[in-house]
Amino acid sequence: MDSNKPAITGVKKRQQIQQANKAVFIWVALAGVVIAIAIVLSQFMVKQLLFNIKVINTETKTNAVLIENAEVYAPLRTEVSKLISNKELTELRLDKNENGDNALQVVIDAMPTEDDRLSLAASLQQRIFSRSGVRIEQLSVSSGDSLAGDPAVAVSQTEGVVEVPFTFEVSGTYEQIKKLFNDMQLSIRPISVTAVKLSGENSNMTAEIQAKTYYSEPATTDMKKETLKP
């Protein structure tokens, strides 16, 4: 045995083991940190990828709608121009000089896009009843609230068209009441008579009438802004 070589005592061995353990612990800790960071980054990248796919799909759908709208715009504009210049529509008015030459207004008046019960009552009195010379004894246009509880005059809605029932009672001669029905038939706004009760004689008759007209719910063309979130 070499007497000049220093002997390794048990204490020094333990120190070396402890240092080795510390080094292994540090490397394991660093490896754990690296793995954790890699997992977080991979999750972020996956979420970002899914979000990008969602944005691309939404943009694709929006672009398809814009292309479709652009394709139907020209034919629609042509049809509207034809309606504006259609003289036959103007001839459908009771007052053919009303609202100038804009025949498109006839279409709008024939099928309003809003529930205009008050305007309807005024229009019936001023545009139809007054022309025949009949006396208005009673006129009632059912309101939305009263319709809900009355099955006899309930509003029905089919494919965006809503029925608006109304009743009225008029008196006059036979010829005046006959003209009233003729004027109702010539009205640009569709009117369906559902019940008629006549009483009296030719010189003094009374007519109790139940009828209904319609309005169409408007089509919406609003531009929407949508915010996408990851």
pLDDT tens sequence across 57-109: 888 888 888 888 888 888 888 887 777 777 776 666 655 555 555 677 777 77
Q: What is the pLDDT of residues 174-215, one digit of tens each?
A: 999 999 999 888 887 888 899 999 998 888 999 999 999 888
Q: Which of 32-36, 75-79, 134-138, 213-217 has the highest mean pLDDT?
A: 134-138
Provide CB contacts within 8 A for 94, sequence distance 6+.
127, 128, 131, 183, 186, 187, 188
133: left (phi over 0), alpha (psi -120 to 50) or beta: left
- Sign of the Cα pseudo-torsion (185, 83, 117, 133, in order): negative
Per the structure block, which two tokens stand in for 91? 């001839």
Q: What is the pLDDT of residues 43-52, one digit of tens each?
A: 888 888 888 8
Q: Which CATH architecture has domain 112-216?
A: 2-Layer Sandwich (3.30)
State percent of the chain over pLDDT 90: 17
**In whole angstroms, what is the distance from residue 150 CA to residue 137 CA?**
23
- pTM, to two decimals: 0.52
pLDDT of residue 93: 62
